[in-house]
Chain A
Amino acid sequence: MIRYRTIGIPLVAAGLVLTAYLVPEQSEDRRPPAGVKVTQTTYACPAGAGITVGAGQISPGTEGTATVLPGKTAAKDLGGTKSWRTARVDGRGVVVEQQGRGSGPAGFFGAVSPKAGGGGLSVGSCSASVDAAWFLGLGSGVKHFSTVTLTNGTAVPAAVDLDLWGPDGKIDAVGAKGIVIKPHATRRVQLEDLAAGEPELALRVLRRRGAVSAVVNDFSKAVFGGTEPVTATATPRRSQVVGGLVSGADGRTLALLNPGTATARVEVDVIGPKSTFKPEGLDAIKVKGGSLRLVEVPSTAGRARQALRITSDVPVAATVRMAPNELDYAYAESALELEGPAIVPIKLGKGVSAPDLILTAPRRTASVQVFAYNRSMKQLGELTMSIEAETTTHLDIAKKFTQKGIAYLVVQHKGDVVGAATYRGGGRVSSLALLSAPIKVLAPQVRPID
C-alpha cells in the first residue's frame, strides 16, 4: 500500500502535466478585424460650373450637411438624409457629412464638359478620405491632361505624397511629396506641373497626415477627345477583375502598373457574355518592375460588353481606357466585388440619363436585384437578374424601368459581382464603377488592457 502511494504521487504529477498538454489552451493570439456599421460618412465632391452633385443613401440617415469649399458655406440643397438631392454648387468642392447607423450614404457628380475641357460626359463618385489611392490612364502631355483634386474637409491640415509612374519607370517628380491641404480646403494639382509631357501616367495618392479625399479628372483635346473622372482602381494585387467594358472592339487600352521591382507576367482572360476565354494577343504580358505599360486590347477579345480578369505573378494595378468613338472616352477600373448594396445615380443633371449596367460574375453564378427609387426614396420598381458563372451581362435600365421620376438605383447582389454603369448620350460615354455604399466597415478588434 505504501509502495503504491510512494509511486503514485509522482505518477499523479506526471498525469497532471500530460493532461495540461492535451487540453487545448484558451489563448487568443489573433483577433482579425470584423465589420461594424458606419455611423457617419464624409465625402468630398468636385464642384463648379456645369457640375451637378448628387447625394443619396441606402436608407434614411439622421442628419446630413453639405459644406461648400472654400468659404464653408452650407449647400442646403444637398443637406438632409431622407431624399435624393442634387444641386449645382458654386465652389471648388463640396463636403457632405451624413450621420446615421448603416445608412449607406454616397455622393456622385455629373457634367458635360465644354469643348475646352474635352467636351465629354463625366459621371463619377465622390470620394471619402483615402489612405492610398491608385489612378491609371492619366497624362500630362500630348493634349491629354489629368488633374487631381484633393479635398480636406476637416479642421486640421492634411498632407499627401503623390507618386508617379510612366512607361519608362517611376518619375521623380519635384514637389510631389508632402503636399499640404489646408483645413476645409480643396487643392487641385495638375500633373503637368509635376511631370510635364508624359502621355501616360499612373498616380498614387498616399495620405500622410489628416483626412483627404482624392478625385482625378482626365480630359483630352486630341483627335480622340473627351472627359472622364478617373476612379481609383484597386490596389495592386495578383488577381483582379476590370469590369464594365463598353461594347465596341476599338479603342480599348489596358493600362498595367507594376509598382514592385520584379517583372510581372500578366495573363488576361475575357469574361464575355457567354463564357470566359483567353484572347489572342494578350498572352503573357510582361510589365517591368516600377513601370506602367499600356496594351491595346485586340479585337480577338470581342466587341461585346465584357470584363477582363487579370492575373499576375506579382501585384499589379489595372485600368482599361475605352474610346469607342472620337467624341469621348471612359475608364473601366479594377473594382472590388460588391460587399453591400450599391447606388447608381440617374438624376444627375443635364446630359446624364439612365445607364446600362454591366455586371460580371467572375466566379460562380450570382444574381442581382435592382431597385428603382424616386427623389423621395420611394421605390418605383424592382427586378432580379441572374448572372451565369464567369460571364458578363448587361441591363438596359431605360428599357427595364419605364417608370417616370427614377432618381437612382440600388443594386443588391447575391454572390460575387463586379459591375459598372455606363452612361451614354450624344455620342459621349462615361463609366462609373459600382462601389458598395458604406454601411459596414472593417474595424480591428479592440480591447482595453490594465
Chain B
Amino acid sequence: MDETQTTRHWLDAPPTVAAVLVSHNGATWLPKVIASLGSMFFAPTAWQVVDVSSTDRSADLLRDSFGAGRVSIAPSGTGFGDAVRLALESLPRTDWIWLLHDDSSVLPGTLSGLLDTATSAPDIAVVGPKIREWPSLRRLLEVGLTITSTGGRETGLETGEPDAGQHDRERDVLAVNTAGMLIRRDVWDELDGFDRRLPLHGDDIDFGWRVARAGYRTRTAPTAVLFHAEASRRGTRRRSRSDVPHWEPRRAALYTLLVNTPTPSFLFQSVRLFVGSLLRVVGFLVGKDPEAASDELLALRSAYTHPIRLFKGRRTRARTAKRSHREIRGLLAPYWLPYQHGYDIARETITALVRPEAVATVGRRSTRPDESPDEAIDLEDQPSVLARRPWFAVVLVLVILSLLAGRGLFGAGLHGGALPASPESAYGWWSLLFDRHRELPTASVLAPAFAIPLALVATPVWFQPGLVVWILMLFAVPLAALSAHRLGRVLSPHRGIRIACAVTYALSIVATGAVSQGRVGTVVALIVLPIVVNTAIQLAETPGWQLGLRVGIWIAAAAAFAPIALVLGLGGLLILLYAEGRWVSRYLLAAAGVPLVLLGPWLFQRALRPWRMWWEAGFPVPGSATAIDVVLGRAGGVSAPAWLTVGLLVLAVLALWTRRARLGVELSWLVALLGLTVALVGTLVTYSTHAGPAAIEPWVGVPTVVWIGGLLSAVLLAAPEAWRRLPRPALVVVVIAALVLPIGTTLWWVERGNADPLDIGRTAAVPVFLADRPGNTLVLTGTVADGVDYRVVDGDGPYLGQEAIAGSSPSTKELTATVRRVLANATAADIRVLSAHGIDAIYAPTADPEVARRVDGAPLLAPAGSDSPGSRVWTLTIAPKSDGATSPVWHPIVSGMQVLAWLLAIVLTAPVRRRELEPLLEDDLPEDAVPTDRGAPT
C-alpha cells in the first residue's frame, strides 16, 4: 500500500503513541531493527528502550541509536511486562503504547497501519500487525492468536504458510503477539498491564483474554506488517542462566487457562488439563521425547501447586470482567482443534518415515539473519517423484504390490496357517497378561512375551486389534524394506544398490512363504532384525550403554515373536565381539542381558526345552525344509521357486574376492553362516509344546532369511568395487543375476497372492454350532494307524497368544491318556473325564473311518450333524463341568513387571530428542545459580 496515497482521518488529530522496545541479548538483530524504525511514515510520539541486562553489545547499540536518556536498564530476570512498566515510568502519558521486540523489524507503514485500525472504532483496545517470518519475509507467523482448550497456542495458520494476502482482512481476535502490539494506554492501566505471573510466554493471550472480558476488542491490522525472528522461541537467542526454563511455555499455557476459565467449568477444566497433561507425558515418552515429558511434568507441578496464585489471578480477572464468557466464546479455538493437531502430528510422523534422504526439507527455514536469502521452492520445476524421491517411490510401489498380493484378504479376521485369529478387542491381549481366569482348563503357563507389544500397539485401535496383525502381514514387504533400507544407509552410500538389496531382503520374507503361511512371528522378527544389526553397528562405532541396551531391546522385540531370534541375536553379538575386540564386551553383555530380563520367565519356560525356541508366535505348525531348501532361501511349504536364489549365491561367493570391502564382506558372510547353521540345525531336530510330546519339525524361516540377508549384505558391500572394475558385459550379467531374485519373487508373489492358507473371516476351527456351545470342543485329526492329534478348542478357537498358554503337562497328560482310551475302548468314565475338562463335543474335521468307528462306540456320546462332508461331530450327553482354570497368582504380577520393564527400557533407551545446547553467556556463574523466569521477549 502506498502510504502517500492513503487518506487517514486520524492524521487530523494524530494520536500520541509511546513506543517501548525491550531488548535482551539482541545484538544480532538490533542493527536491522533500529534501521527499520528510522524510516516510518508515522513516528511514535516518544521512545523508551529497556535493556534487560544484556551481556552482548545490545546496550551499546541502543544507546548509540536512541541516546542514553531513552535507554533504561532493567535488572537481570526482569519479565517483559515489568520491562514495559519500567519504560512507561519514563514516558509521558500517551493515547497508545506500541510494544516492540529486539528481534522484530517493521516496515515504514507498520505503525500507521496499526493506527488505521486502532482508530476505526472506540472499543478497540489492542491492535496487532500481520507478523511474517524473519528472514524469509514471506511466510506468515501470526495474524492474531487464540488458545485451544488444551492450552495450545493457535494461530490458525499452516506451518510455513506463505503470505499471499489471504488473511488481509481485519478481524477481531482473542489476542495478538506482544511484538508490534498497539495498546490503548487507558486500557493498559485499567487492566494493570501484563500479568506478572507470565513474564515471557502467554502474556499476550492472557492480556487479550482480559481485554475481551473487559468489554474491549482486540483486532488485527493486516496492513501493518512486522517481521519477527522469534529468537527465544526458536532458541536462536543466546541464553543466559537467568532465562526462563524450558517448561515455562507450558506452565504459562496452563496458568492462562486456569485463571481465565469461567467459574462453572473451572473444576472440569482443571481435571481435564491435569489428566490431559499426564496423557501428554505418556505421549511424549512414547514419542521418544523424554525432555518434553519432563517439561510437561514440571509445568504441571508448577501450575497446580500454587492454588493461591490461581485464586488471586482469577479474582483480579473477575474484577475487570464486564462481559460473560459466552460473549467471547467465538474468539476461542474450536474444541476439535487439538484433535486436528494430533492427526497432523501422526501424518507428519508417517511422512518422516519415508522421507527421501537426499531432498532438503520444505519445512520452516532457519531464522538466522545471516543465512542465505529466501529462495522459494518451485515444485513445478522439480524432476519427477521417482527421480527426486526414488526410495519413496519404491516404498509406494511395494505398498501397491502388497495390496495386490493381499487381494481377498481385505476385512476383519485374518487367520490361517500358523496364524490364529486376533481377539475381539485389545482386552484379549491384556487379559492374557493380567486375567488369571482362563477358559481352557489346561492353561498354566505364562502369557507369551509378544502379547505385551501387541497389547500396547493394539490399544489405540481397541475394537479392531486385528488391524495390527493385518498391517504386519499384508505390508510385511514394505515394512521390512524400510528397516532393511535404514540398515543399507549405514552399509553403503550407493542408493540404487541398497534400494535393490533392501527390496530383495523384504521379498525374501514372502519368498519363504512366511506371509501366506501365517507366520506372524517370522514376519515381525525379520522386520526387526535389520534394526538390530543397524543398532549393533552404531554400537560398534560409538560404544555406549544406551546403545548396548537398545540392541538388547530390539533383540528382545524380535525374540518375543520368534524366540530363535535370540539365538541369532546372541550369535550376532559374538560376531560383533570378534570384529570389534574386547573393548565392546561390557556393552555386548548388557545387550545380551536385556532380552533375558524383558522376556522374563516366559523365555525360561521355553528354554527349559531348548528346541522349543523354534516355536514362534502362533500355532506350532511344522515346517518341512530340507538342507537344499535352506541354502536356496526357502523354509518348506508354500514358497517361491527356489532356483531364483541361485544368482544371489553366486554373486555372494564372488563378493569374497573383493579387496576394499573384504572385512565387511567377510563379516556379512559370518552373519550368513550363523543363519545357515541355525537353519540347518532346525531341519534336523524336533520340538514339543507345553502340551505334550508332539514331535514338531521347526519352521526355519527366520534363520533362512538371515542367511539370505547376510549374503545380500556381502553383495551390497562388494557391489561398488565390481561396478568400477568389471567390464560392461560382465556387469550386465551381474545385474541380471542380482535382479532375478527380486523380480522373480515379485512376479510369483503378486501372481499367487498372500491368501491360502491365510484367510479372512471366521476361523473354521470348529463348526459354528459347536463354537456356540457352552463347552470346549475336542478336535481330532490323524488316523489310528499313524497316530491321532488332538486340540481342545474354546469357542471359535484360540486367538493369537492364547495358543501359547493352551497346555500344561499334568492336565494335558491326563487328557491325552483319556483321549487315547476313548479311541481304544471308550468307557463312560473316560467321557466324564472329558466333561471334567470342559469338553462337550468331539469334532473330527476329516474323520478317519477307524477313528470315527471308535468314537461311535463310546458311551455318553451322541452323533450330531456336521458342516462338511467327511467330518463327524459327537456331542456329550452330559454337561461340561469345568469352568476354566485359574493361573497362579504370580502370573499377573510377573506380567505387570514385564510390561513395566518394557516401558522402562523404551524410555531409558529411546533416541532422545535432545535440545540443542545453546551457548551460555554467563559461564562464569556458579553451577548452583537458580535461573529465574525472566528474560527476553519471544
Contacts and interface: CB of A to CB of B under 8 A. Distances in A.
Given A20-B680, A444-B823, A446-B823, A32 B786 contact: yes
A6 B656 contact: yes
B63 interface: no
Interface string B142-181: 0000000000000000000000000000000000000000
Contacts of A444: 782-785, 787-788, 820, 823-824, 851
Contacts of A155: 859-860, 877
Interface in A130-164: 131, 154-156
Interface stretch (A205-213, A256-264, A278-286, A345-353): A205-213
Interface in B691-717: 691-697
Contacts of A447: 692-694, 787-790, 816
Interface stretch (A9-17, A287-295, A305-313, A426-434): A9-17
A39 interface: yes
Interface string B822-840: 0111011110000000000
B789 A448 contact: yes
Contact of B788 (A6, A38, A129, A446): A446
The contact size tier of chain A is: 35 or more
Interface string B665-683: 0100110110011001101
Contacts of B685: 26
Contacts, number: 179
A399 interface: no
Interface string B794-832: 000010000100110000100110011101110111100
Contacts of B789: 446-449
A28 B790 contact: no
A404 interface: no
A27 to B, nearest CB: 6
A209 B856 contact: yes
A237 to B, nearest CB: 17
B853 interface: yes
A20 B683 contact: yes
B856 A211 contact: yes
A227 interface: no
A446 B820 contact: yes
A39 B828 CA distance: 11
A450 B617 CA distance: 11
Interface in A115-136: 129, 131
A2 B662 contact: yes
Contacts of B859: 42, 154-156, 211
Interface in A4-48: 5-7, 9-10, 12-13, 16-17, 19-21, 23-33, 36, 38-42
A231 interface: no
A49 interface: no
B858 interface: yes
B684 A23 contact: yes
Nearest to A40: B827
Interface stretch (A67-75, A169-177, A193-201, A435-443): A435-443
B673 A207 contact: no
A428 B828 CA distance: 40
Nearest to B783: A444
Nearest to A24: B684
A445 interface: yes
A211 B821 CA distance: 15
A186 interface: no
Interface in B461-520: none
B686 A28 contact: yes
Given A99-B827, A155-B860, A444-B823, A16 B790 contact: no
A6 B657 contact: yes
Contacts of B666: 5-6, 9
A26 B627 contact: no
A40 B786 contact: no
A9 B669 contact: yes
Given A5-B666, A445-B787, A36 B821 contact: yes
Nearest to A449: B789
Given A30-B787, A156-B862, A444-B784, A449 B691 contact: yes
Interface residues of B, number: 72
B695 A448 contact: no
A129 B787 CA distance: 22
Given A38-B825, A448-B816, A154 B860 contact: yes
A116 B697 CA distance: 67
Given A32-B786, A449-B694, A16 B677 contact: yes
B15 interface: no
Interface in A34-86: 36, 38-42
B820 A450 contact: no
Nearest to B798: A450
B786 A29 contact: yes
Contacts of B788: 444-447
Contacts of A33: 784-785
Contacts of B783: 444
A443 B821 CA distance: 7
B98 interface: no
A10 B695 CA distance: 32
A131 B877 CA distance: 22
B863 interface: yes
B768 interface: no
Contacts of A445: 787-788, 820
Given A154-B860, A210-B856, A441-B825, A27 B815 contact: no
Nearest to B804: A450
Contact of A25 (B683, B689, B693, B863): B683
Given A21-B627, A154-B860, A441-B825, A12 B673 contact: yes
Contacts of A40: 825, 827-830
A80 B871 CA distance: 40
B620 interface: yes
Contact of B857 (A2, A19, A210): A210
B798 A9 contact: no
Contacts of B821: 36, 39, 443
A443 B680 contact: no
Residue in B684, B781, B792, B816 whose Cβ sees the most chain A Cβ within 10 Å: B684
Contacts of A443: 820-821, 823-825
Nearest to B628: A17
B785 A448 contact: no
A26 B695 contact: yes
Contact of A450 (B628, B680, B791): B791
B450 interface: no
Interface string A102-119: 000000000000000000
Contacts of B657: 6
Interface string B771-788: 000000000011111111
Nearest to A18: B627
B899 interface: no
A41 B828 CA distance: 10
The 8 closest A-B pairs by CB, nearest first: A31-B787, A443-B824, A40-B827, A448-B691, A20-B680, A20-B627, A445-B787, A444-B784
Given A155-B877, A444-B784, 5 more contacts: A25-B697, A210-B863, A444-B785, A446-B820, A450-B791
25 contacts: A2-B662, A5-B666, A13-B672, A17-B631, A20-B630, A25-B697, A27-B695, A32-B786, A36-B821, A40-B825, A42-B827, A129-B857, A131-B857, A155-B859, A156-B860, A156-B861, A207-B853, A210-B863, A444-B851, A447-B692, A447-B816, A448-B692, A448-B812, A449-B781, A450-B798
